[in-house]
A and B are shown apart, each in its own frame.
Chain A
Amino acid sequence: MFRYIVRRLLQMVLTFFGATFLLFALVFANQKDPIQALVGERPVTESQRTFLTERYHLDDGFFTQYWYYLKGVLTGDFGTSLTGRKIVDMMSDAWPVTLRLALIAIVIAATFSVSAGVYSAIKRGGIFDNVSLLLTLVLLAMPIVVIAPLFQLIFGIQLGWFPPTATRDATFWQLLLPAIVLACIVIAPEMRVTRTAVAENLRADYVRTARAKGLTRMRVIWVHVLRNSLIPVVTLIGVDLGGLMAGAIVTEHVFNIPGVGFNLARAIRTEDGPLVVGFVSILVILFLFINLLVDLMYAALDPRIRYE
């Protein structure tokens, strides 16, 4: 187990350096005139120019600049946005909102997809199974740019069931509709995987044994079968995190939620390079860590997996 964790951590470090390097290169390589971009339309005096060049190390080569950036990231300093605010401060304002949104979405998606997946696996070939297969295909194909505005229009504006936009404090009630939208991305694959895994496990020998012991049907399905079917579902939740992040950018933009995605979308529009790189670096680190956690969770779910 220990060796496995060390190996994974080493792999993670490599991925982290590669990913941040790619990102840094994309944003800052052959930028035309970052100082002019910073001050906008106003003229820049020679002394201002010298000061800014000095401060942002603009005279140094590309690799030296990457080194400064890396040093910042490793010491928890993600730099300053062009608006003058510390990126760490902006992040600490934004991430609780996004975290809440993502958690609600994951809980909704997991509850719905596991129960629906188990039900359609038990009644395989029935009406519910066929209809839900078709529905998940539609859901699978709908891009978030279609679902988010349409749900806002139908459930937020026309029917008025949910508040169509969120305010600064983003209450649970305001986040519920966006979370449902976000959950739509992951429900379809999770449900399909649950269905396949449960259907496979229902035919396993241990299920017959459990039945023969006289256990109730409910206990066999919800305890024996489900635990053995959850591994692919958990993997999928980990894999889907990238999708959830992408979805959060669009969803927060549509519903006006002051989270990470909202800030990121705004940073892109205002061409705030440092803010984009800062936010994305934090997201990449988070993404890598969560994937590691998901890998380690397998062992908890399935004692047979021991990572030697």
Chain B
Amino acid sequence: MSDLNTVTSAEAPGGQPSLPRGPVKKDKPRSLAADAWADLRKRKIFWVAIVLVAAILVMAIWPTLFTSADPGACALSNQYKGSSGSALFGYDYQGCDIYAKVIHGARNSIIVGILSTALAGVIGLIFGLSAGYFGGWLDAVLSRFIDIMLGVPFLLAGIVLSNRLSSDPKSNGIFAVTLTLGLLSWTSGARVMRSAVITAKNQDYVAAARMLGSSPARLIFRHILPNSIASYIVLLTLLLGINIASEATLSFLGVGLKNGAISWGIMIAEGTSFARTQPWPLVWPALFLGVTVLAFIMLGDAVRDAFDPKLR
């Protein structure tokens, strides 16, 4: 949000920083970001999402705030013991503390989600920008390449790629899954960026800047990018939630995290096998994963609604 604000205020007429000077007048023209923020503040769903996301982030950064138990300390003598003061959600098949495992599982989900989305964001930005700005054969080649990528269903490609990247039997798979999701999920973002850049490129102010002798780099980074990045950033918020879900899916199928790395996907897979007699080892990780993905999607959805003037 903060970059968006600075970016838009840099484009404000006169280039003055929009510092608050006394009470803001009603008829003062607001930037897109300020407008969106005013809209967002009024939405309940946005605040629910913010609170949930904040809680999940705290959980990922300082899991020991919530539990002092070691998620790796499992004793078979504890198998399927019910909940108690020390283990809030009881114990699973291996005799591990479910509560401790679920809390510690947030970190891997968030790490994979953020890093893969960042990777996808960078790739999509570069490809979308260059295809949109330079056009011509570069655009044709990149667009066909994106078509080809979209021709393979996402999960199928993810399974194959993740399996291939994590050939080292000792690795915990975090690197492989992050790379897989990053390399596969940039396509839709690149398309959005490309069309946004094409729209921005044909605006009069870009022509004016070109007349004034701006270099291509200045044109791109000073004029086109700031005016086409809003929808892209919104898309990345949504992608973050989707990538977290994809990580769990890959882990669930056995081609994601492994070798002792805690993942909600693996916990769900283990829980499913014994759900007939012991439902709780399945329910808790499923609930945490569901709420996490929901929180990010809700956030992205609210921000998109605020930024898309057509929907208002």
Contacts and interface: CB of A to CB of B under 8 A. Distances in A.
B310 to A, nearest CB: 11
Contact of A242 (B145, B154, B167, B254): B154
A144 B249 contact: yes
A153 interface: yes
A243 B153 CA distance: 7
Contacts of B289: 143, 145-146
B184 to A, nearest CB: 11
A297 interface: no
A208 to B, nearest CB: 24
A246 B301 contact: no
B294 interface: yes
B231 interface: no
A27 B148 contact: no
Given A26-B160, A268-B163, A18 B145 contact: yes
A32 B279 CA distance: 41
Contact of B160 (A243, A254, A276): A276
Contacts of A276: 159-160
A230 B205 CA distance: 39
Interface size bucket, A side?
35 or more
Interface string B259-289: 0000001001001100110010011001001
Interface in A1-50: 11, 14-16, 18-19, 22-23, 26-27, 32
A23 B286 contact: no
A77 to B, nearest CB: 21
Given A146-B289, A149-B282, A137 B298 contact: yes
Contact of A141 (B164, B271, B286, B290): B290
Given A149-B275, A152-B272, A153-B279, A141 B297 contact: yes
A146 B268 contact: yes
A66 interface: no
Interface string B151-178: 1111111011101100100000000000
A247 to B, nearest CB: 8
A246 B249 CA distance: 10
Contacts, number: 135
A99 interface: no
Interface string B232-248: 00000000010001101
Contacts of B149: 22
A131 interface: no
B144 interface: yes
Nearest to A19: B151
Contacts of A18: 144-145, 147-148, 151
Contacts of A15: 147-148, 151
A283 B151 CA distance: 10
A145 B245 CA distance: 8
A143 B253 contact: no
A140 interface: yes
B272 A141 contact: no
Given A15-B148, A22-B148, A149-B275, 4 more contacts: A18-B148, A246-B153, A246-B156, A287-B151
Interface of B: 45, 144-145, 147-149, 151-157, 159-161, 163-164, 167, 241, 245-246, 248-249, 252-255, 265, 268, 271-272, 275-276, 279, 282-283, 286, 289-290, 293-294, 296-298, 301
Interface of A: 11, 14-16, 18-19, 22-23, 26-27, 32, 137-138, 140-146, 149-150, 152-153, 157-158, 164, 242-243, 245-246, 249-250, 253-254, 264-265, 268-269, 271, 276, 280, 283-284, 287-288
16 contacts: A18-B145, A18-B151, A19-B148, A23-B160, A26-B160, A27-B160, A27-B164, A141-B241, A141-B298, A145-B248, A146-B293, A157-B275, A246-B156, A250-B249, A276-B159, A280-B152
